[in-house]
Amino acid sequence: MAPRVTALLLTLLLAACAAPQPSLYAPKASRDGYADEALGKGLYRVSFQGNAVTSRERVQDYCLFRAAELTLELGAEKFAVHDKLVERYTQVTRQTYDGWGDPYYYGPYDRRYRYYRPYPAPTYQRERTTFRALLTIEPFSGRPPVDSSGGFQIYDAQATFAQFAPRIQRPAP
């Protein structure tokens, strides 16, 4: 009996200590991850969506890493970034505590006083912020693409891949 209780308590303690982890570098299956799509004329849109504990910098790095990885998959040496955007989503949730499990909360009227009086339920507000990075890239080899405005950055795919590869956290197989 005692070993079972000890094992149960140890399991509960470890579960309580587990904190949320930042997004891993993986294809977007549900809420977070990377995605890419072909836009035509040699352009691609690469995006990475992070979760609530993923920093803005990590989201940008993962998106740039995916752009380099996609460029290498397509057989190109470099890529030009035409558009760069980082979106911030903030979701505010309001929750009203209804008193379940609190022995001192008696609903709209408090029975601890001689005369009943209104007793409003406490309301809690929770804020959750996530980031999403979007890049419009054009993979190429040789001469850079011609742009009349000249407003794009050119990255070497192999160098970018090597720069960010040590910091990329992938899911366990």
Q: What is the pLDDT of residue 42?
A: 87
Spatial distance between the Cα atoms of 134 and 86, rounded to a whole number of angstroms = 6
> Of 80, 88, 63, which Cα lies nearest the Cα of 139?
80
Q: Is 156 exposed, middle or buried (0-12, 13-18, 19+ CB in 10 A)?
A: middle
Mean pLDDT of 63-79: 93
Judge whether residue 157 has pLDDT over 70.
yes
Higher pLDDT, residue 172 or 63: 63
Domain membership of residue 86 as a residue range:
31-92+128-167
Asked if 151 and 7 count as a contact pair (C-beta separation under 8 A), the reply is no
Q: Is residue 48 part of a domain?
A: yes
Contacts of 2 (CB under 8 A, 6+ apart): none
Residue 64 has pLDDT above 80, yes or no: yes
Burial of 85-102, coded b for 16+ CB within 10 Å and e otherwise, reads eeeeeeeeeeeeeeeeee
Q: Which two tokens stand for residue 78?
A: 């470099």
The number of distinct structural domains making up the chain is 1
How far apart CA 137 and CA 170 sit, in angstroms, is 23
66 within domain boundaries: yes
Residue 10 falls within a domain, yes or no?
no
Q: How confident is the model at residue 112 (pLDDT cuts 50, 70, 90)?
A: low
User: Which amino acid would we find at residue 154?
Assistant: I
Q: What is the pLDDT of residues 1-48, one digit of tens each?
A: 677 767 666 675 655 556 677 778 888 887 888 999 999 888 999 999
Residue 118 lies in a domain: no
Q: Is 2 domain-assigned?
A: no
Q: Is residue 59 part of a domain?
A: yes
Let me know if residue 23 belongs to a domain: no
pTM over 0.75: no
Helix, strand, or coil here: 142? coil
The residue assigned the tokens 């929750």 is 95
| DSSP code for 106 | -
Looking at residue 107, its pLDDT comes to: 52
Residue 64 lies in a domain: yes
